[in-house]
Amino acid sequence: MNKLLLQKRKLGNLSKICLFILLSVGISYNTNAQCTNNTSQYPSGSITVNPDGLLTTINTCNYLSEFSIITGIVAGSDYEFTVTSSGYITIEQGGVVLNHGTTPVTATATDGTDIKVYWNVDASCATASSCETTTVQCVSCTPPPPPSNDACIDAISISSGQMMSGSTTTATNVENLTSCSGGTAGSDCAAGVNDGGIDFGAGVWYVYTSEATETITFEVTGFDTELQVFTGTCGSLTCVAGDDDSYSGGCCGSQVCFESTASFAPVDYYVYVDGHASNTGDFDFTVNTMVLPLDLVEWTGSSTKDGNKLSWTTMNEINTSHFSIEKLYEGNTWRSIGTVEANGISHEALHYSFIDSNPGDTDFYRLKSIDLDESYTYSDNISVSRTIHTEDVKVFPNPFSDELTVQLDLLSAQDISFSVHDITGKFISEKHIQAREGANNMNLNLEDQQAGIYVLSIQLNNTVIQKRIVKK
């Protein structure tokens, strides 16, 4: 009986010893897995976690032998830590390990004190001295709503000379755009704009309404930004120009510059501001414009029974005050023989005329267009010879789509030639007719030509009448 009791006691002691060994191994394992022995802090200062649930980069070169301090912690919030390799992470707060394991590791903050996070190679707490990118993100935090102009349809209207501040931090790429880069710079634009490789991300929208032919410059600064400009309507946009990093005022800003196409009606330009690649941040957006000179579409003269009739047609009058008709006198002196008030502002074709009731055999004229700020431009010189006796020359419709009509009312039959050149002087076409006395109509077909401004030259004997024609 005593021997049996002794054997039971020995077995009990053996069981206790085995249990002690197992518990000791377990405790040793957990202690080692909680790698809190790193003594080198990096970065040297604390890193503030983004409170809105956005990813915060702790550092791009943490060694797996260091620890980092994270501030801005909210009690009860969940924080996820990552390291680029399959490194081992231990999360500690107030001297208590909250969690540990292979990346990514999430822990719930018990209070608002700083979190200390240790970086190691594995659960054995091995170390390594190679750069690793480390991050933290509050995965339980509610992100703020996107900006009010996150979508094209909600684009914020901006005016010339205005600067607006904005942010792409919480923006999204709602329209799922494809990149819009390059684009033709206007003649008054600075060199180097509309350049750079677009690698865009989430952005915000603005809209500028151009009401005249003008040079438009969009600039954005603040971080590594990009600019993309479109016409059309939201959901059906056409690329105009785009730029990355061409802003002349400093690093990483962007600048787009081009000439507006608002010749016949206002044009809305939609502007997408975003960061290059994954960059986000706050920015300042500025619009500056310079109105181009009034378009003198037509400037002609003809002899009538009442004198020499000077006729002209304009497009895109913006702040035009009046016109002065000037005539060349002896001594090569130009003098004003009359003025005509301008309409002031219009996108439509406007027609004007003036009669010189004291003509000579051959007279030379020019038109001076004067703005409200007293700046002015001159037309080309034209001549009117009364030996030709042209009662009138009309070109219509102007602007035209494919075909226009030239109408001449002559007091005598004569040979007439018509030629068309583009605005650079390149020859387009030519035609000759034998005109009869009285009314003559001739059709010109330019359906194969691109939209733009052309010059129609009409030669009657030794006089050439030039008219600007506009193809829509």
Give Cα separations from 421 to 232, 345, 393, 455, 466 (angstroms).
31, 29, 19, 5, 11
111 and 93 Cβ atoms separated by less than 8 Å: yes
pLDDT beyond 70 at 423: yes
- Segment 273-330, tens digit of pLDDT: 999 888 889 999 999 998 777 778 888 888 887 889 999 988 778 778 999 999 999 8
**Reported confidence tier of residue 89, pLDDT bands at 50, 70, 90:** very high
Place of tokens 């590594």: 224
Which range has the worst mean pLDDT, 228-237, 371-380, 461-470?
461-470
- Segment 56-81, tens digit of pLDDT: 999 999 999 999 999 999 999 999 99
Q: What is the mean pLDDT of residues 111-137?
A: 96
Domains of the chain: which residue ranges?
A: 40-138, 152-291, 295-471
**Reported confidence tier of residue 119, pLDDT bands at 50, 70, 90:** very high
Residue 177: beta bridge partners? none
DSSP codes of every residue in 318-366: ESEEEEEEEEEETTTEEEEEEEEE---EESS-EEEEEEESS--SEEEEE
Distance of alpha carbon 134 from alpha carbon 60, whole angstroms = 6
Label the pairing between strands 333-341 and 320-329: antiparallel
Give the range with max mean pLDDT: 85-99, 202-216, 276-290, 314-328: 85-99
Report how many helices (DSSP H) and strands (DSSP E) the chain contains, helices first: 1, 36
- Phi and psi angles of residue 4, each rounded to the nearest 5 degrees, phi first: -65, -40
Which range has the worst mean pLDDT, 223-227, 345-349, 418-422?
345-349
| 19, burial (CB in 10 Å: exposed 0-12, middle 13-18, buried 19+) | exposed
Q: For a pLDDT cut of 70, what percent of the chain falls above it?
A: 90
284 and 164 Cβ atoms separated by less than 8 Å: yes
Identity of the residue numbered 300: T
Residues sharing a CB contact under 8 Å with residue 268, sequence separation 6 or more, in sequence order = 207, 208, 209, 210, 231
Amino acid 347: pLDDT = 66
**Reported confidence tier of residue 356, pLDDT bands at 50, 70, 90:** very high
Report residue 26 as tokens: 């377990």
Give me the CATH topology for the region 152-291: Jelly Rolls (2.60.120)
Amino acid 337: pLDDT = 96
**Reported confidence tier of residue 392, pLDDT bands at 50, 70, 90:** low
**Reported confidence tier of residue 91, pLDDT bands at 50, 70, 90:** very high
DSSP codes of every residue in 258-311: EE---SSS-EEEEEEEEEETT---EEEEEEEEEEPPPEEEEEEEEEETTEEEEE
Amino acid 11: pLDDT = 46
279 and 227 Cβ atoms separated by less than 8 Å: no
Instruction: Write down the mean pLDDT value for the chain.
Output: 86
- Segment 15-60, tens digit of pLDDT: 444 444 444 443 333 444 799 999 999 999 999 999 989 899 999 9
Amino acid 21: pLDDT = 40
pLDDT beyond 60 at 4: no
Amino acid 22: pLDDT = 40
Cα-Cα-Cα-Cα dihedral sign, residues 45, 51, 52, 53: positive
Identity of the residue numbered 375: S
Amino acid 152: pLDDT = 95
pTM for the predicted model, two decimal places: 0.54
Q: For a pLDDT cut of 90, what percent of the chain falls above it?
A: 49
**Which CATH architecture group holds 40-138?**
Sandwich (2.60)
Distance of alpha carbon 458 from alpha carbon 418, whole angstroms = 5
Indicate the length of the chain as a whole number. 472
Give me the CATH topology for the region 295-471: Immunoglobulin-like (2.60.40)
Residues sharing a CB contact under 8 Å with residue 212, sequence separation 6 or more, in sequence order = 260, 262, 291, 292, 316, 318, 347
Top pLDDT among 171 and 305 is at 171
Distance of alpha carbon 73 from alpha carbon 91, whole angstroms = 13
Q: Do domains 40-138 and 152-291 have the same CATH topology?
A: yes
Coil, strand or helix: which one is 10?
A: helix
Distance of alpha carbon 78 from alpha carbon 31, whole angstroms = 23
Report residue 142 as tokens: 């509610």
Q: What is the mean pLDDT of residues 444-467?
A: 83
355 and 309 Cβ atoms separated by less than 8 Å: yes
